[in-house]
Amino acid sequence: MKPARLIMTLFTAVTLSVPLASTASAAPETGGHHDTLRWAAPRGFHIGSAVAGGGHHETQPYPDPFTSDRPYRQVLGAEFSSVSPENQMKWEYIHPERDRYNFGMADAIVRFAKQNRQVVRGHTLLWHSQNPEWLEKGEFTKDELRAILREHIRTVVGRYAGRIQQWDVANEIFTDSGALRTTDNVWIRELGPGIIADAFRWAHQADPRAKLFFNDYNVESVNAKSDAYYALIKDLRAAGVPVHGFSVQGHLSLDYGFPGDLESNLKRFAGLGLQTAITEVDVRMTLQAGGVPTEAQLRQQADYYQRMLTACLNVSTCCSFTIWGFVDKYSWVPVFFQGQGAATVMWNDFTHKPAYDALRSTLAGRR
Ligand code: 9MR
């Protein structure tokens, strides 16, 4: 993009975003704006965001974004047709003690989604990370552990039955070299790989309507890890296990090239009869001193977002594209990667980056 065009784009973005921000306190969170991502999206295609809260947010110097930041809620309701709890349905958050669940925030997100005519992606049921201490450190027999997982899945999936479109049942179960996580995943380590099929079966029993997914990072390309998923899912489906989808997270960095085979990779999973999705998109970058992205970085970032979205739109079974937060001030990236950031599509005042405009025009081009 030429500098003049970039300035125009930024200018347009600023002017377009003013009414959105200024109506934040007055308008209901109904998503009725005609210049939003969800409005631009083709029918049946869901454009989503993570709902900021829990996890890294708890150590940051701001209150819970989802419940406390009204302009944030306004944009979340207006722009997106799908929401994913960023942390609020993870074990440590929703099941903090063995005999106690904490449904408050997950309930609030599911309610918000209904009010705003959004679908929900549930995240997540079987994972090696963000498990409560009572689970990781408890000395349970195999039978007890199995019963704990079954009860958790029945309780959580059952509670939201009919209100969750897609569940990330199993998250990040393989290493980058395509080996099952047999050491750091408590379920696989203690109960063996057969527990994965059980988790899908239990989730399906608890909510037969929800589409059940495997979800991971570094599986955008055809590589050892995505090959491992391909082989596993093929076997599970041949055995009649209710696996319905494979999703790639899409945490990309400008420090690496774009995964040009994303579309063909999604297509091979579609070929197994699966739904596909891109579930946690962001594009981080190494920031110069001062922390402000250069115009070239913003252009390249917009290009990465656009190409990820296009890959999904080109695959008939890919109907869900979710960004992992939409505003830089709440992004996990600077907290986890020193010197990196600016990974989302909006500046801190909710004005639009070129990446936002790239997403919206790409969606509008497919209506
Ligand atoms: O964005 C999440 C952050 O708030 C948490 O602190 C972090 C802890 O693991 O998890 C982040 O979300 C992750 C997601 O659940 C699974 N894929 C990778 C995401 C980014 O780390």
- Tell me the per-residue pLDDT of 292-322, one tens digit each, with 9 for 90 and over: 999 999 999 999 999 999 999 999 999 999 9
Q: Which of 25-29, 83-87, 129-133, 238-242 has the lowest mean pLDDT?
A: 25-29
Share of the chain above pLDDT 70, in %: 91
Cβ partners under 8 Å of residue 144, min gap 6: none
Structure tokens at 224: 């050892």
Residue 188 and residue 185: Cα distance in Å, rounded? 6
What's the pLDDT score for residue 34? 78
Q: Compute CA 90 distance to the chain's CA centroid, rounded to the nearest angstrom.
A: 13
The secondary structure of 312-340, three-state, reads: HHCCCCEEEEEECCCEHHHCCHHHHCCCE
Q: How many Cα atoms are found within 13 Å in the side-chain-facing hemisphere of 292?
A: 3
What's the pLDDT score for residue 5? 33
Residue 332 and residue 341: Cα distance in Å, rounded? 9
- Tell me the per-residue pLDDT of 124-176, one tens digit each, with 9 for 90 and over: 999 999 999 999 999 999 999 999 999 999 999 999 999 999 999 999 999 99
Closest CA to 242 of 296, 198, 277: 198
pLDDT-derived band at 32, boundaries 50, 70, 90: low
Select from 49, 51, 56 the residue to mutate for testing ligand 1; criterion: most ligand atoms less than 8 Å from CB: 56
Q: How far is the CA of 185 from the centre of ligand 1 (A)?
A: 16
Share of the chain above pLDDT 90, in %: 90
Q: How many Cα atoms are found within 13 Å in the side-chain-facing hemisphere of 92?
A: 16
* Whole-structure pTM value: 0.92
pLDDT reading at 4 higher than 90? no
What's the pLDDT score for residue 85? 99
Closest CA to 334 of 279, 293, 278: 293
pLDDT reading at 9 higher than 80? no
Number of domains into which the chain is organized: 1
Q: How far is the CA of 140 from the centre of ligand 1 (A)?
A: 27
- What CA–CA distances, in Å, run from 24 to 75, 76, 111? 8, 11, 19
- What CA–CA distances, in Å, run from 27 to 4, 23, 50? 34, 6, 22
Which residue's CA is the closest to the ligand 1 atom numbered 1? 332
Select from 87, 92, 220, 333 the residue to mutate for testing ligand 1; criterion: most ligand atoms less than 8 Å from CB: 87
Average pLDDT of the segment spanning 236-243: 98
Residue 196 and residue 126: Cα distance in Å, rounded? 8
21 phi/psi in degrees, rounded to 5: -70, -40
- What CA–CA distances, in Å, run from 197 to 172, 228, 240, 242, 252? 15, 15, 10, 8, 29
pLDDT-derived band at 12, boundaries 50, 70, 90: very low
Range of the domain at 102: 3-364
Residues designated as active site? 172, 280
The total of other beta-carbon atoms located within 10 Å of residue 213's CB is 29
Average model confidence (pLDDT) across the chain: 92
pLDDT reading at 243 higher than 50? yes
pLDDT-derived band at 209, boundaries 50, 70, 90: very high
- Tell me the per-residue pLDDT of 82-128, one tens digit each, with 9 for 90 and over: 999 999 999 999 999 999 999 999 999 999 999 999 999 999 999 99
For the chain, the helix, strand and coil percentages under 3-state DSSP, each to the nearest 5: 45, 15, 40
Average pLDDT of the segment spanning 333-354: 98
**Domain of 265: which CATH number?**
3.20.20.80
pLDDT-derived band at 261, boundaries 50, 70, 90: very high
What's the pLDDT score for residue 304? 99
Q: How far is the CA of 86 from the centre of ligand 1 (A)?
A: 7
Number of the ligand 1 atom closest to the C-alpha atom of 171: 16
What's the pLDDT score for residue 24? 32
Report whether residue 56 contacts ligand 1, using a CB cutoff of 6 Å.
yes
What's the pLDDT score for residue 221? 98
Which residue's CA is the closest to the ligand 1 atom numbered 20? 332
pLDDT reading at 3 higher than 80? no
